[in-house]
Amino acid sequence: MTLRAIISTKLGAYGYFAIALAVAIALLFAWVFFKGGYLLTVLQLAMIYGVFCVGLNFFMGYTGQASFGQNAFAAIGGYGSAILTVQYGWEPILALVVSMAVAGVAAVVVGYPTLRLRGHYLAMATFALGLITYDVSVQWTDLTQGYMGYSGIPPLGIGPFTVEDDKLKLVCLAVILALGVWVSSRLRHSRFGRALRAISSTELGAAALGIRVSRYKLLAFIIAALYASAAGSLFAHTVGFISPEVFGLQMVVVTFTMLYVGGIGTVLGPAIGAVIASLLPEVVRSTGRFQDIAYAAVLILMLIFVPKGLSTLASIGRRRPIKAGAEG
Amino acid sequence: MALLEVRGLTKRFDGLVANSDIDLDVPEGSLFAVIGPNGAGKTTFFNMISGFLQPTSGTIAFAGVQITNLRQDRIAAMGLVRTFQLVQLFGGMSVAENVEVGCHLATKGGIGAALVRPPWFRHQEADVRAKALELLDFVGLGVQAEQEATLLPYGQQRLLEVARALAAKPRLLLLDEPAAGLNAHETEVLADIIQRVNRQNITVILIEHDVALVTRIAHRIAVLDFGRKITEGTPDEIKRHPEVIAAYLGTEEAAHA
Ligand SMILES: Nc1ncnc2c1ncn2[C@@H]1O[C@H](COP(=O)(O)OP(=O)(O)OP(=O)(O)O)[C@@H](O)[C@H]1O
Ligand SMILES: [Mg+2]
C-alpha cells in the first residue's frame, strides 16, 4: 500500500478538503498579515460579512426561506452599538449584546405575522422591511444622525483592554466567525437542524411528522437576525463609523452573492463565500478598467462549474465510491 | 369506542362535492382499507383526517378527542401519522436522514441541547441513528441508507415514506396508495410489511387501488365513489357487493382501454 493510499483511506475526501482548507486559511492570513494595510481591512470586513451570512444561511439555506430584509437587523446592531456607545458611553460588548436582544425581539415582531405567508409574500414582506429600515435610518435624524451617520464608535474590548490594533482586530473577528460557524454546525447536525432542513424540502412532509413548521421558521429567522445584528455591531466597532449606506440594498446583493458562491445550506459555505467574494475584487483589480467585467465573469464561472457552491467541492470525491459501490 | 370516529364528513371544492356526509368507525388494532375509483375522494378524506384540509362540515374524533380543524403537527403529535400519494421526501438528505427526521416526535431537545450536547442528547442522537437503520432494514432499504433519498426509484421512495412515518411511533397510520409504482414482488413485500406493522398494534388505514391486495390483507373495507361511502364491510362482503363490482369493473376497463 502506498503512502498516498494509506492517507486517502484514512482521511477520505473530507479529510483532504479540511486540510486544503486549513492550509488555504493559514496562507491567506499569513499573506494578509505580511502585506498589512488595506488588505487587513478587506479581510476584517470579510469576517464580518461571514458572520452575517452564516446567520442568513439558517433561514435561507437550512430552512429554505427567502429574506431580502436581513440588512434591517444588521442596521439594528450597527445603530444600537453606535448610539449606546457614542451617546450613552456604554461598554461596546454590552452594546453589542443588548442590540442583539433588540434585533431578536424585532425578529419576533416582524416574523410572527409574516412567516405565516408563503413564498413571494414572505420575500416581499422582508424586502419591505429592509427598505423601511433604510428610510428610518435616513429620516429619523434625531436617532440616527441621517446621512451623516455616526463616527468615533469605540472598538470592542473588555474592561481596560481594547482591540485597537488592526491585526488583533482581524484575529478577534476570525475567532468570532469560527464560533459562529461552530454554532451553525452543531445546530445543523441535530434534531433542530434536521427539522429546519425538512421544512426547506417539503412543509407538508415536515408537518405530517409533527414538526411545527411556523415555529421552526420563526426560530431560524430569529437566529439569522441575531447573527445579522452581531455583524452590524462588529462593523460599527471595527470601522468606527456607520451610515445608512452601510446597511442598504447593496448589503443584500453582496451577501446573496456570498451565500451562493460559498454554498447555501452548507456549514462552511457562507464563511468561504464571504472571504472569496470579498477578496475577489482585490484580485481582479489588476485587470484595471476591466475589473467589473472580470469580477462578474469569475462569479458566473463559479456558478456554472460549482453551482452548489465552493464548499460542495468536498463531497465530489465522496460521491464516487458510493456510486461505484452501488453499481458494482 | 373506535379509535377513529368520523361523522358526516363533507368537503366541497366550489361546486364539486369531493366528500359527502361520510361516517366511518375504525376500531383500534384493525387494518382498514379505503378503496374507490380515481377521483372518488379518498385522498381528500385522508387530508381532512390528518388536518391538511378543513372539512366543510362534519367531525373527526381520534382516541375520543375531537381533532376537527386541529393543525397537522398537533394531530401527528397525538399519534395520527400519514404518508402521501405524491411522495413528500426530504430532498438533499440521505435515506437514513429522512427517517431520522421521522423520529422528531419521539425525541426531544431544541437549540440549547444541540449546542451543549449533554449526555442524554448524545445518546438520543445515537438511538435515532440506530432506529433509522432498523426501520430501513424493516422496509428493505437498509443498503440504500446513505443514498440521496430523492434519487431512489419511485417504488422505494414510497417504502421510505412508510419507514419515516413509523419512526414517528404512530398509533394510527394512514397510507395513501403505498403500492403505486411497485411491481408484483415489491407489492408482496409491502403487504407483508403492512401486516407486520399492524401486528405491532398500530391501526392502519390503507388507500389502495389494488383490490386483490386489499381484500387479502384488510380486516374491513370502505368503498368510496363520487365522494360518498357506498358500502363498508368485510373483504368477502365487499367482493360480492354489486355496486363495488360495477364501480370497479368500470375503472378497470377504463384503465385497460
Ligand atoms: N384542492 C382541491 N381543489 C379542488 N378540487 C380538488 C382538490 N383536491 C381534490 N379535488 C377534487 O376532488 C375530487 C376527489 O379527489 P381525491 O384526490 O380525493 O380523489 P382520490 O380518490 O384520491 O383519487 P385518486 O385515486 O386519483 O388518488 C377530484 O375530483 C379532485 O379533482
Ligand atoms: Mg388519491
pLDDT in tens, B157-196: 999 999 999 999 999 999 999 998 888 888 999 999 999 9
If asked whether residues B55 and B160 sit together in one domain, one would say no
Point out the ligand 1 atom lying closest to the alpha carbon of residue B41. Answer: 18
For residue B55, the SS3 value is: coil
Is the four-CA dihedral B12, B87, B153, B34 of positive or negative sign? negative
Predicted confidence at residue A13, as pLDDT, reads 64
- Determine the Cα–Cα distance for residues B141 and B243; give it in Å rounded to an integer: 39
Same domain, B19 and B67: yes
Asked if the model's pLDDT at residue A3 lies above 60, the reply is no
- Containing domain of residue B256, as a range? 1-79+170-257
The ipTM (two decimal places) reads 0.90
Residue B180 and residue B119 share a domain = no
Verify that B180 and B72 share a domain, yes or no.
yes
Taking ligand 2, which is a single-atom ion, which protein residues have CB atoms under 5 Å away? B 42-43, 85
Measured between beta carbons, the chain B residues lying within 8 angstroms of A183 are 115
Q: Are residues B174 and B62 in the same domain?
A: yes
* Residue A295 reports pLDDT greater than 50: yes
Q: Which of B116, B141, B168 is the last residue of a domain?
A: B168
Q: Is A199 on the interface with B (CB under 8 A)?
A: no
Instruction: Clarify whether residues B69 and B183 are in a common domain.
Output: yes
Q: Which residues of B lie closer than 8 Å to A, measured between beta carbons?
A: 50, 52, 71-73, 76-77, 81-84, 88-93, 97, 100-105, 107-111, 113-115, 117, 121, 124-125, 128, 146-147, 164-165, 167-168
Q: Any idea which ligand is nearest the CA of B84? A: 2
What is the tens place of the pLDDT at every residue in A28-65?
Answer: 877 877 777 788 888 999 999 999 999 999 999 999 98
For residue B121, pLDDT beyond 60: yes
Statement to judge: residues B181 and B239 lie in one domain: yes
What CA–CA distance (Å, rounded) separates A165 from A135? 34
Give the mutation target among B19, B35, B44 for probing the ligand 1 site: most ligand atoms within 8 A of CB. B44
Q: Are residues B145 and B174 in the same domain?
A: no
B214 and B159 in a single domain? The answer is no
What would the pLDDT profile of A131-179 be if each residue is shown by its tens digit? 887 777 777 777 767 677 777 778 887 767 777 787 888 888 999 999 9
Residue A327 has pLDDT above 50, yes or no: no
Q: Give the whole-angstrom CA distance, residue B96 versus residue B146.
A: 6
Per DSSP, A116 falls in state: T
DSSP B143: G
- Residue B104 with chain A: CB contacts under 8 Å: 191, 194-195, 198, 209-211
Distance CA A261, CA A139 (A): 34
For the Cβ of B40 lying below 6 angstroms from any atom of ligand 1, the answer is yes
* Residues of A in Cβ contact (< 8 Å) with B109: 190-192
Give yes or no: residues B13 and B67 share one domain.
Answer: yes
| Whether A195 contacts chain B with CB within 8 A | yes
Which residue of B73, B83, B109 is in closest CB contact with A207?
B73
Ligand positioned closest to the Cα atom of B18: 1
Indicate whether B192 and B161 sit together in one domain.
no
> Residue B89: closest CA among chain A residues belongs to which residue?
A205
Cα distance between residue A257 and residue A261, in whole Å: 6
**A210 in contact with B at a CB cutoff of 8 Å?**
yes
Please judge whether A195 and B168 are an interchain contact, meaning their C-beta atoms are less than 8 angstroms apart: no
At residue A315, the pLDDT reads 59
Q: Domain ends where: B149, B168, B187?
A: B168
Task: Give the A:B interface size as CB pairs under 8 Å.
Answer: 107
Look at phi and psi of residue B36 and say left if phi exceeds 0, alpha if psi is from -120 to 50, else beta.
left
Element spanning B13, H or E = strand B4-13
Taking the C-alpha atoms of residue B158 and residue A233, their distance in angstroms, rounded to an integer, is: 49
Last residue of one domain, picked from the residues B134, B168, B202: B168
Separation in Å, CA of B248 to nearest CA in chain A: 31
CATH number of domain containing B224: 3.40.50.300
Q: How many domains does the structure of chain B reveal? A: 2
> How close B216 comes to chain A (CA, Å)?
28
Q: So what's the pLDDT on residue A2?
A: 53
B69 lies in the same domain as B104: no
